[in-house]
Amino acid sequence: VIGVVIGKTDVRSFPDRKNIGAERCTFNFTIRDSPTYFINVQSWGREEYIRSLSDSFRVGDCVTIENPLIQFKEAEREEKFNPITPSGYKLLLSENHSVVKTSSCYDTDSRLLSLLHLPVKNPQDYYSLGDIVANGQSLHGRVLNVLAAVMSVSE
């Protein structure tokens, strides 16, 4: 699978239930290879492997993923913390079998770069800030998708 990284989480660690005193680490990222299709990738493993993998690329880089495990995603649980994807699957990276290679998007395919700026949500599924201000009471308690732009940053 070749795509541009459009999102990435920080590395998190958890106690390893099988090896007392050891830790397992994880991080997720999302890749996109067309305007319509993108998929979440989950990585689990030893701290050294996960930190090295996470440090090897950033959002905006193109990656080639070899030998991922393809799994059904558990939509309700997984999409709380990751972008909702159009696929019913996710990719799982294994330290022993999977390989992630990075390359310049210009070297791979310059059209992948344009995918970095496309929203992952349906354009009809957003509220503007003006809508939220005008209808705040009726929207109370609902989860909303907001489309906004940063106009300035200051102290």
* Residue ranges covered by each domain of the chain: 2-114
Confirm whether pTM is higher than 0.85: no
pLDDT at site 28: 94
Is residue 38 within 8 Å of residue 3, measured between CB atoms?
yes
What is the tens place of the pLDDT at every residue in 40-86?
999 999 999 999 999 999 998 899 999 999 999 886 666 666 778 88
pLDDT at 125: 79
Residue 13 pLDDT? 92
pLDDT of 105 reads 60
C-alpha dihedral sign at 73, 43, 40, 151: positive
Domain 2-114 class in CATH: mainly beta
- Which range is least confidently modeled, 12-26, 42-56, 104-118, 137-151? 104-118
What is the average per-residue pLDDT within 3-15? 92
Are 63 and 101 contacting, i.e. CB atoms less than 8 angstroms apart?
yes
Of 104 and 74, the one with more pLDDT: 74
Give pLDDT, residue 126.
Answer: 81
Return the pLDDT at 90.
93
Residue 43, pLDDT score: 94
Instruction: Return the closest-CA partner of residue 43 out of 23, 69, 63.
Output: 69
Residue 53: name the closest of 106, 94, 81, 108 by CA: 94
